[in-house]
Amino acid sequence: MTEDSQSGKVAAKQKNPNKSWLEKLGDAFTGEPQDRDQVLALLRDAEQRDLLDKYALSMMEGVIEVMEDQVRDVMIPRSHMVIVEHDAQMDDILRVVTTSGHSRFPVIGESKDEVIGILLAKDLLQFTVASSKDFDFLDIVRPAVFIPESKRLNTLLKEFRASRNHMAIVVDEYGGVAGLVTIEDVLEQIVGEIADEHDTEEDQNIKPCDETQYIVKALTGIEEFNAYFDVEFDDEEFDTIGGFILRQLGHMPKRGEEMEFHGFNFKVLGADSRRIHRLLVRRKETEAADRSLAQE
């Protein structure tokens, strides 16, 4: 190849500064990646070179994680399901709907292992403006979709889109109900935490759910956490409770991961590949009882 032809190619490249980010990303790849880790390394390198912004990188990482993760990694466990009983009266149902802020509810029979169907809050509207004397909400309950814990999230997302379902009941290997999963749970793995009406208020770092459970923002300062719970977690190395938990775990946790520490159970409610967003903090019953007796 002559020197003129080589310089011509260089000039041609320089004449096209308006390449799309996808074309620039392709130029950045010097070889074909052989595995998932190499793909992630290339994407992170592209972000370092300003070919991707951090949010785009986070979503791409989320897409790759969705291809690997299973339903058990993101599901809402059985113990935290907000349910409606099959023989509930209208007042009881409305109380559950209004206090939870959710739009879909598993309807159970004699136990949580017997899911009859799914109740949509919007289907109750017709009964709130008319007489509910002869109300039988089982007439409006929709069929439930049951899926195994091992189902891949990318497969589940395709099924959600195809069927237009937004919730599925997760069953374990013995056929018992292990929990539930929603389309929001899957999408949050891609786009990050999605704030909604029952998330913690912006100006409230610690939100009590009951006497033993609290939703805590991971950015809550350890000093504030210590003062609220009357504990003395070390605040010399980390400023936030999220950073403290990250240190105790030794790795970036996934949603649903739990750990116990000094009388508390910490469960990750929201996290992405970079940081923890929200925690469900539970006092052990013995600790709560001791605290109650001390106050008396």
CATH code of the domain covering residue 159: 3.10.580.10
268 confidence band (pLDDT: 50, 70, 90): confident
Share of the chain above pLDDT 70, in %: 76
d(CA 2, CA 203): 67
Q: What is the pLDDT of residues 93-113, one digit of tens each?
A: 888 888 777 889 999 998 888
Is 280 a domain residue? yes
Indicate the residue among 70, 103, 134 that finishes a domain: 70
Q: What is the pLDDT of residue 132?
A: 53
* Spatial CA neighbour of 104 closest among 160, 51, 45: 160
Buried b (16+ CB within 10 A) or exposed e, 189-200: bbebbeeeeebb
Is 200 a domain residue? no
Q: What is the pLDDT of residue 10?
A: 45
Instruction: Tell me, yes or no, whether 152 and 63 share the same domain.
Output: no
Is 283 a domain residue? yes
The torsion angle over the Cα atoms of residues 188, 192, 197 and 203, rounded to 10 degrees, is: 150
Instruction: Tell me, yes or no, whether 164 and 250 share the same domain.
Output: no
Helices (H), the chain: 3-14, 21-28, 36-48, 54-68, 90-100, 125-128, 153-163, 183-191, 222-229, 241-249, 285-295
Q: What is the pLDDT of residue 180?
A: 93
Sheet with 76-77: strands ordered across: 76-77, 177-182, 167-171, 146-148
Is 229 a domain residue? yes
Mean pLDDT (the chain, rounded): 78
Per the model's pLDDT, the better-predicted residue between 210 and 27 turns out to be 210
Is 12 a domain residue? no
Is 163 a domain residue? yes
Instruction: Tell me, yes or no, whether 248 and 164 share the same domain.
Output: no
**Predicted confidence (pLDDT) at residue 266 exceeds the cutoff of 90:** yes
Instruction: Tell me, yes or no, whether 104 and 81 share the same domain.
Output: yes
Q: What is the pLDDT of residues 38-93, one digit of tens each?
A: 777 777 887 787 777 777 777 777 777 777 788 888 888 887 888 999 888 888 88
Q: What is the pLDDT of residue 23?
A: 62
Instruction: Tell me, yes or no, whether 76 and 159 share the same domain.
Output: yes
Is 242 a domain residue? yes
Instruction: Tell me, yes or no, whether 146 and 92 share the same domain.
Output: yes
Instruction: Tell me, yes or no, whether 137 and 83 share the same domain.
Output: yes
pTM: 0.55
Q: Which residues are within 8 A (CB) of 177 and not within 5 positions of it... i.e. 6 or more apart?
A: 78, 81, 112, 113, 115, 169, 170, 171
Q: What is the pLDDT of residues 136-181, one digit of tens each?
A: 777 889 999 999 999 998 899 899 989 988 999 999 988 899 999 9
Q: Are 221 and 239 in contact (CB under 8 A)?
A: yes
Domain that holds residue 187: 72-191
Instruction: Tell me, yes or no, whether 157 and 267 share the same domain.
Output: no
Query: Domain tally for the chain?
Result: 3
Is 289 a domain residue? yes
Instruction: Tell me, yes or no, whether 76 and 186 share the same domain.
Output: yes
**Predicted confidence (pLDDT) at residue 291 exceeds the cutoff of 50:** no
91 HSE (CA, 13 A, CB side): 1
Residue 224 CB burial class (10 angstroms; 0-12, 13-18, ≥19): middle
Instruction: Tell me, yes or no, whether 222 and 277 share the same domain.
Output: yes
* Spatial CA neighbour of 108 closest among 99, 98, 117: 117
Indicate the residue among 164, 191, 218 that finishes a domain: 191
